Amino acid sequence: MADPTLDKQKRAIARNLIETRGLQQAFHAATQFGWHDIADRIRDEIEQSRNTLRSEISH
């Protein structure tokens, strides 16, 4: 069973990296530190922002 506290901490790290560095640099930093699960979360946010942008452009 996954530790919910650890998951919450990882979400907080990902959010902090994104807010201070932006999506691309946050992803790069997470991969450089070997935080692959955090990098996956950031990659999901990158994809979500791309999909949102595509949706806004097409309307």
pLDDT of residue 57: 87
pLDDT tens digits along 6-36? 688 988 999 999 999 999 999 999 999 999 9
pLDDT of residue 16: 95
pLDDT tens digits along 47-58? 999 988 888 888
pLDDT of residue 58: 82
pTM of the model: 0.77
**Phi-psi bin for 2: left (phi > 0), alpha (psi -120 to 50), beta?**
beta
Task: Express the helix, strand and coil content of the chain in percent, nearest 5 each.
Answer: 85, 0, 15
Separation CA 39–CA 41 (nearest Å): 5
pLDDT tens digits along 29-45? 999 999 999 999 899 99
Under a CB-based contact definition with an 8 Å cutoff, are residues 38 and 6 in contact? Answer: no
